[in-house]
Structure 1
């Protein structure tokens, strides 16, 4: 089992394919296996790196509660371990980790593509009453999820999160059983995110100053807060372009894998060829 010991933690990773290196970072609850629907297609053009964030599945947890900045530091160290700069991709909380790296270590990145980072702190001053109500609902639901995890009801916590925060009603039953099992097993790691006061925020000034080409995407079937975050980010980051997945939600790489790969590669073609990492 390939691991890289960085920042005192053994991180599991896999590499498939040849070409420019692209590193995929998963979101909350899940792990590298969530990228399985797109890896084979990507590997026809890229060297694809998937990894389990610290405390998730096959990667070890640190000695202290994990944080957004620790995850970004792990991603930076993994890229340096394997060789960079690279294309980086993140989904959901993995998109926050990716954007944190864009702000902190742009030297490691050729391009960045993120789907629906839950950077809800960007919406706290919104004048839209609907956004205010939606934020309050998210905070209530996240508190419920945390209580369920703390009482040991990991399945109930995962289901509540999927149904009320990430995908919407009916989302849990639409997920494959194996994927639901991964979410349930990784439930304790979500408490680290809940307890991290910076988890859903970003260094806006550093991100606004980046020169890294950035793709921001959201789905038409996602909860309303996600496109609102994308809109705020598009105003913040001059290098950003946006795209929308019609008929998709929070996990387009699983529901629309071929379209997801096509849009990512088109973005890379537009941004220009990346530098092949040194071996």
Structure 2
């Protein structure tokens, strides 16, 4: 998949690096916490033959700018709006995890900019002042470069079961993470936690979304995600929903074919089914 990187400036001057690949109807792919330009590569490679993919590194994640001060979803939406304005026509918007929560915010604020909305497991339960102590713990751990404590805090935020946390930690084996990439991810997580802390857990607010919407989830993802997705489906009753068996919150990485097929079918519209 051939791709090009370009810079886009948000309304406040924040520089965003955006990866572009393919040709056709525009699709914007939003990465989750801890991700970056590479996060959507597997899914994008399966769509690039039919669509023009735009993959921004969100603010707070290098090589995009890391502005001073506390980040909010309002900042994220402004950044996304700058990307869509650069594209120059309504887009199919796809978000995973934190990127899915951002996609919901964008759809609620700027529906006229979208052709459709597709979200994979937004962590709507991990928000509000209840996680403020976790933000404080994470920031303190980041300042003293305590990777173990940062990981513990993030597990508390995501509520991952111990067995899954252990398996995920063991997956790299003896391979050491690149220090620069690890630092970039850690800083991005901090700013995502800031926005989540200032957000709310309410799902009724998404009932204003009227663009065609696809809700995606893994059947094996742990609680409270299944309950959260049920609540989101009730808030957007016109949404189409797909649940993949034997998949969890990592489906966009472990099963990119499933994700790409679901998106292709959804983008094609009801007349194709």
Q: Same fold (TM over 0.5)?
A: yes
Where do residues 171-182 of structure 1 align in structure 2 (5 Å cutoff)? 171-174=168-171, 182=181
Where do residues 131-210 of structure 1 align in structure 2 (5 Å cutoff)? 144-154=137-147, 156-158=149-151, 161=154, 165=158, 168-169=164-165, 170-174=167-171, 182-196=181-195, 197-201=197-201, 204-205=204-205, 207-210=206-209
Q: In the alignment, which of 83, 87, 91 is matched to residue 86 of structure 1?
A: 91
Runs of 5+ consecutive residues of structure 2 not aligned to the other structure: none
Answer with 178-187 or 31-40: which moved more. 178-187
User: Which residue of 2 is the match for residue 222 of structure 1?
Assistant: 221
Distance 2:256 2:6 in 1: 26
CA apart distance, 1:82: 1.8
Superposed CA offset, 1:80-137 (max 9, x none): 1122200000011110110000000000111111111111179x9xxxxxxxxxxx8x
Distance 1:91 1:58 in 2: 20
Is this contact kept in 2: 1:111–1:271, CA < 8 A? no
Distance 2:45 2:97 in 1: 21
After superposition, the Cα gap between the structure-2 partners of 1:179 and 1:27, relative to the gap in structure 1 and judged at 3 Å, is: farther
After superposition, the Cα gap between the structure-2 partners of 1:103 and 1:13, relative to the gap in structure 1 and judged at 3 Å, is: same
User: Which residue of 1 is the match for residue 116 of structure 2?
Assistant: 111
After superposition, the Cα gap between the structure-2 partners of 1:74 and 1:213, relative to the gap in structure 1 and judged at 3 Å, is: same
User: Which residue of 1 is the match for residue 264 of structure 2?
Assistant: 265
Q: Secondary structure at the match of 1:32?
A: coil
User: Which residue of 2 is the match for residue 73 of structure 1?
Assistant: 78
**Normalising by the residue count of structure 1, what TM-score does the alignment of the two structures yield?**
0.82
Distance 2:159 2:249 in 1: 7
Q: What number of residue pairs does the alignment pair up?
A: 260
User: Which residue of 2 is the match for residue 26 of structure 1?
Assistant: 31
After superposition, the Cα gap between the structure-2 partners of 1:225 and 1:4, relative to the gap in structure 1 and judged at 3 Å, is: same
Is this contact kept in 1: 2:26–2:92, CA < 8 A? yes
CA apart distance, 1:2: 1.2
Is this contact kept in 2: 1:215–1:240, CA < 8 A? yes
User: Which residue of 2 is the match for residue 256 of structure 1?
Assistant: 255
- Tell me whether 1:3 sits opposite 2:4 in the alignment: no
CA apart distance, 1:45: 1.1
**Normalising by the residue count of structure 2, what TM-score does the alignment of the two structures yield?**
0.83
Q: Secondary structure at the match of 2:243?
A: strand
